[in-house]
Amino acid sequence: MRLHNYLNEGINDKGIFKAIFMAGSPGAGKSWTLTKIRSGSIEPKSVNTDKMYPFFKEFWGGEAWGKIKDDVKTISKNQLVLYINSLLPLAVDGTANDPSMLLRRRGILESFGYDTGMVFVNTSMETALKRASKRERPVDPEFITQAYKQVQKLKNYYRSRFDDWFEISNDEGELTNEVILRGFKFASSFYESKLDNPIGKEHREKMIKNGWKTLSPNIWSLEAIQRAANGWYK
């Protein structure tokens, strides 16, 4: 009995096969907002190349992004393979100004069995520009302006595509305790809810029955997961 419980410990964890997409313009404060609203009992893994940038910048003596981005993406892809193979809960941090990329990434996760939701972080363009100017990896203000306009146009489209959706305001002074609490409740409810994706349900049943703790090698090959990760960052 103890051996059975040990083998099934991971597959019975809350949050498996769950992923929230953090959407908003550059400078909206998506990563910061995530630290405030993430579930207290579930720690989703962040999928974001930016989190690797400071390490590589220091390691390579302050090299520009263009010279280290391939190394950053390689490490990020390897992490993503590990996360998906282990069914870990995810928080995908991106600008969402490219709908084809976001929906492709969503499709990749859903094909492995994930449920997906979205937290849309709003701020003013003035605040987005101000925050982005202070980032460790500089971003062209013109790009931010165009990305901001595009993301705002896409907001209602994304709302129509995600059943699990939450919009949060993060302009100066707007991320109050009340707003944070509502976001926290949304994230907690999503990550702790029962799995809805039929692919994920089927995978989970097989894994429980056979005592498998990862998708590879019995359900998906590691090569297939790696190909998906390559498609994520192409």
**CATH number of the domain where residue 133 is located:** 3.40.50.300
pLDDT 10s digits, 2-12: 444 434 446 77
In the three-class reduction of DSSP (H, G, I as helix; E, B as strand; rest coil), residue 126 is classed as helix
Do strands 90-93 and 18-23 pair parallel, antiparallel, or not at all (unpaired)?
parallel
- Radius of gyration of the chain measured on its C-alpha atoms: 18
pLDDT 10s digits, 214-228: 999 999 999 999 999
Q: How many CA atoms lie within 13 A of 5 on its CB side?
A: 2
Segment 64-70 shows an average pLDDT of 62
Supply the pLDDT for residue 74.
86
Q: Which residue has the higher pLDDT, 147 or 202?
A: 202
**Residue 79 above 50 pLDDT?**
yes
User: What is the residue range of 143's domain?
Assistant: 2-232
List of residues 6+ apart from 153 with CB closer than 8 A: none
Chain-centre distance for alpha carbon 217? 24
Total count of domains within the chain: 1
Query: How many whole angstroms separate alpha carbon 144 and alpha carbon 23?
Result: 14
In which band, very low, low, confident or very high, does the pLDDT at 197 lie, cut at 50, 70 and 90? Answer: very high
pLDDT 10s digits, 109-148: 999 999 999 999 999 999 988 887 777 666 788 888 998 9
What is the number of H-type helices and E-type strands within the chain?
Answer: 10, 5
Q: pTM of this prediction? A: 0.86
In which band, very low, low, confident or very high, does the pLDDT at 212 lie, cut at 50, 70 and 90? Answer: very high
